Amino acid sequence: MTFRSLVMGTIAILALGTVASAETPDQTYQQQLDNYHRQQQEYLYQKDRYENRLDQYEYDRAHPAWWWRSAYFHAAPEWYVEFRGRDLIGTQVAERDGRIVGRVGDIDRAPDGRIEQVQILLSRDRVAWVDASDIRYDRTDRIAFVDIGPGALYARSRDRSYDYRP
Protein backbone atom coordinates (compact mmCIF):
# COMPACT_ATOMS: atom_id res chain seq x y z
CA MET A 1 0.00 0.00 0.00
CA THR A 2 1.46 3.32 -1.00
CA PHE A 3 1.32 6.49 1.01
CA ARG A 4 -0.92 8.14 -1.60
CA SER A 5 -3.53 5.40 -1.45
CA LEU A 6 -3.46 5.50 2.35
CA VAL A 7 -4.13 9.25 2.38
CA MET A 8 -6.86 8.95 -0.27
CA GLY A 9 -8.52 6.15 1.69
CA THR A 10 -8.46 8.21 4.89
CA ILE A 11 -10.01 11.19 3.11
CA ALA A 12 -12.73 8.96 1.63
CA ILE A 13 -13.55 7.51 5.05
CA LEU A 14 -13.75 11.00 6.57
CA ALA A 15 -15.99 12.19 3.74
CA LEU A 16 -18.33 9.23 4.15
CA GLY A 17 -18.40 9.73 7.93
CA THR A 18 -19.37 13.37 7.44
CA VAL A 19 -22.17 12.46 5.06
CA ALA A 20 -23.43 9.78 7.45
CA SER A 21 -23.59 12.24 10.38
CA ALA A 22 -25.56 14.82 8.37
CA GLU A 23 -28.99 13.30 8.85
CA THR A 24 -31.54 15.57 7.20
CA PRO A 25 -31.23 19.12 5.92
CA ASP A 26 -33.43 20.38 8.76
CA GLN A 27 -31.27 18.69 11.39
CA THR A 28 -28.11 20.00 9.76
CA TYR A 29 -29.58 23.50 9.72
CA GLN A 30 -30.60 23.21 13.39
CA GLN A 31 -27.09 22.05 14.36
CA GLN A 32 -25.57 24.99 12.51
CA LEU A 33 -28.06 27.39 14.10
CA ASP A 34 -27.32 26.02 17.59
CA ASN A 35 -23.59 26.37 16.93
CA TYR A 36 -24.12 29.95 15.78
CA HIS A 37 -26.07 30.80 18.96
CA ARG A 38 -23.35 29.27 21.15
CA GLN A 39 -20.70 31.32 19.36
CA GLN A 40 -22.83 34.46 19.68
CA GLN A 41 -23.30 33.90 23.43
CA GLU A 42 -19.56 33.34 23.88
CA TYR A 43 -18.83 36.54 21.96
CA LEU A 44 -21.25 38.56 24.10
CA TYR A 45 -19.76 37.10 27.27
CA GLN A 46 -16.23 37.98 26.18
CA LYS A 47 -17.34 41.46 25.11
CA ASP A 48 -18.97 42.11 28.51
CA ARG A 49 -15.89 40.80 30.28
CA TYR A 50 -13.67 43.09 28.22
CA GLU A 51 -15.88 46.13 28.91
CA ASN A 52 -15.90 45.37 32.66
CA ARG A 53 -12.12 45.08 32.70
CA LEU A 54 -11.83 48.34 30.76
CA ASP A 55 -14.17 50.08 33.24
CA GLN A 56 -12.13 48.74 36.16
CA TYR A 57 -8.92 49.96 34.52
CA GLU A 58 -10.37 53.46 34.05
CA TYR A 59 -11.65 53.44 37.63
CA ASP A 60 -8.24 52.41 38.95
CA ARG A 61 -6.56 55.15 36.91
CA ALA A 62 -8.93 57.77 38.32
CA HIS A 63 -8.38 56.54 41.90
CA PRO A 64 -4.64 56.18 42.62
CA ALA A 65 -3.30 55.04 46.00
CA TRP A 66 -3.07 58.57 47.47
CA TRP A 67 -6.73 59.15 46.58
CA TRP A 68 -7.83 56.16 48.64
CA ARG A 69 -5.87 57.31 51.71
CA SER A 70 -7.39 60.77 51.41
CA ALA A 71 -10.91 59.41 50.88
CA TYR A 72 -10.57 57.09 53.88
CA PHE A 73 -9.55 59.87 56.26
CA HIS A 74 -12.26 62.20 54.94
CA ALA A 75 -14.95 59.55 55.34
CA ALA A 76 -17.10 60.05 58.42
CA PRO A 77 -16.38 57.46 61.14
CA GLU A 78 -19.71 58.02 62.92
CA TRP A 79 -21.88 58.42 59.84
CA TYR A 80 -24.37 55.81 61.00
CA VAL A 81 -25.71 57.90 63.92
CA GLU A 82 -27.60 60.41 61.78
CA PHE A 83 -27.83 58.53 58.47
CA ARG A 84 -31.48 58.05 57.53
CA GLY A 85 -31.37 57.32 53.78
CA ARG A 86 -31.32 53.97 51.99
CA ASP A 87 -28.90 55.04 49.26
CA LEU A 88 -26.17 53.12 51.07
CA ILE A 89 -27.40 49.87 49.50
CA GLY A 90 -25.30 49.01 46.44
CA THR A 91 -22.35 51.10 47.60
CA GLN A 92 -18.89 49.66 47.05
CA VAL A 93 -17.07 48.54 50.18
CA ALA A 94 -13.29 48.93 50.17
CA GLU A 95 -10.35 48.52 52.50
CA ARG A 96 -8.21 51.51 53.46
CA ASP A 97 -5.93 50.96 50.47
CA GLY A 98 -8.82 50.86 47.99
CA ARG A 99 -9.09 47.12 47.47
CA ILE A 100 -12.77 46.49 46.79
CA VAL A 101 -14.09 43.69 49.02
CA GLY A 102 -17.77 43.82 48.11
CA ARG A 103 -20.98 45.86 48.06
CA VAL A 104 -23.52 46.85 50.68
CA GLY A 105 -26.49 44.51 50.42
CA ASP A 106 -28.74 45.51 53.33
CA ILE A 107 -28.80 47.44 56.60
CA ASP A 108 -30.20 46.73 60.08
CA ARG A 109 -31.57 49.66 62.06
CA ALA A 110 -32.00 50.12 65.80
CA PRO A 111 -35.42 51.12 67.17
CA ASP A 112 -34.30 54.78 67.21
CA GLY A 113 -33.54 54.65 63.45
CA ARG A 114 -29.74 54.64 63.47
CA ILE A 115 -27.91 51.96 61.52
CA GLU A 116 -26.54 49.16 63.69
CA GLN A 117 -25.27 46.64 61.16
CA VAL A 118 -24.43 46.54 57.49
CA GLN A 119 -24.61 43.49 55.25
CA ILE A 120 -21.65 43.22 52.87
CA LEU A 121 -22.02 41.05 49.78
CA LEU A 122 -18.65 39.41 49.19
CA SER A 123 -17.42 37.36 46.26
CA ARG A 124 -18.06 33.62 45.96
CA ASP A 125 -21.70 34.05 47.11
CA ARG A 126 -20.67 35.02 50.64
CA VAL A 127 -22.26 37.62 52.91
CA ALA A 128 -21.00 39.19 56.15
CA TRP A 129 -22.79 41.37 58.71
CA VAL A 130 -20.55 44.11 60.11
CA ASP A 131 -21.19 46.59 62.91
CA ALA A 132 -21.73 50.09 61.57
CA SER A 133 -18.98 51.35 63.87
CA ASP A 134 -16.46 49.30 61.81
CA ILE A 135 -17.32 51.23 58.65
CA ARG A 136 -16.51 54.75 57.46
CA TYR A 137 -18.76 56.20 54.78
CA ASP A 138 -17.90 58.86 52.21
CA ARG A 139 -21.22 60.31 51.06
CA THR A 140 -19.68 62.36 48.27
CA ASP A 141 -18.09 59.42 46.44
CA ARG A 142 -20.48 56.79 47.84
CA ILE A 143 -17.73 54.52 49.11
CA ALA A 144 -17.80 52.62 52.39
CA PHE A 145 -14.49 51.73 54.01
CA VAL A 146 -14.39 48.71 56.29
CA ASP A 147 -11.87 48.63 59.14
CA ILE A 148 -11.79 44.82 59.14
CA GLY A 149 -9.26 42.92 57.04
CA PRO A 150 -10.52 40.65 54.25
CA GLY A 151 -9.43 37.52 56.11
CA ALA A 152 -11.49 38.41 59.18
CA LEU A 153 -14.37 39.53 56.98
CA TYR A 154 -14.46 36.19 55.15
CA ALA A 155 -14.05 34.32 58.44
CA ARG A 156 -17.28 35.84 59.76
CA SER A 157 -19.13 35.46 56.45
CA ARG A 158 -21.77 32.91 55.52
CA ASP A 159 -23.24 31.54 52.33
CA ARG A 160 -25.73 34.03 50.84
CA SER A 161 -28.61 31.56 51.03
CA TYR A 162 -28.13 31.31 54.82
CA ASP A 163 -30.21 34.02 56.54
CA TYR A 164 -28.12 34.78 59.57
CA ARG A 165 -28.21 38.03 61.49
CA PRO A 166 -25.98 38.16 64.56
What confidence score (pLDDT) does residue 78 get? 75
* Max Cα distance, the chain (Å): 93
Q: Rounded to two decimals, what is the model's pTM?
A: 0.57
Give mean pLDDT, residues 75-82: 76
- Percentage of the chain modeled with pLDDT above 90: 11
What confidence score (pLDDT) does residue 115 get? 85
List pLDDT tens digits, range 137-148. Answer: 888 788 888 888
CB 137 within 8 A of CB 76: yes
Give mean pLDDT, residues 73-89: 76
The H-assigned helical ranges of 22-147 are: 25-62, 65-74
Strands (E), the chain: 92-94, 100-109, 115-122, 126-131, 135-138, 143-146, 158-159
| 101 or 160, greater pLDDT | 101
What confidence score (pLDDT) does residue 31 get? 93
Q: b/e per residue, 117-150, with b = 16+ CB within 10 A?
A: bbbbbbeeebbbbbebeebbbbeeeebbbbebee
Which CATH architecture is the domain 77-159 placed in? Roll (2.30)
Mean pLDDT (the chain) is 79
Check whether 82 has a pLDDT greater than 70.
Answer: yes
Closest by alpha carbon to 131, among 71, 57, 80, 70? Answer: 80
Domain ranges of the chain: 3-60, 77-159
List pLDDT tens digits, range 1-59. Answer: 565 665 556 665 655 555 445 589 899 999 999 999 999 999 998 988 898 888 778 77
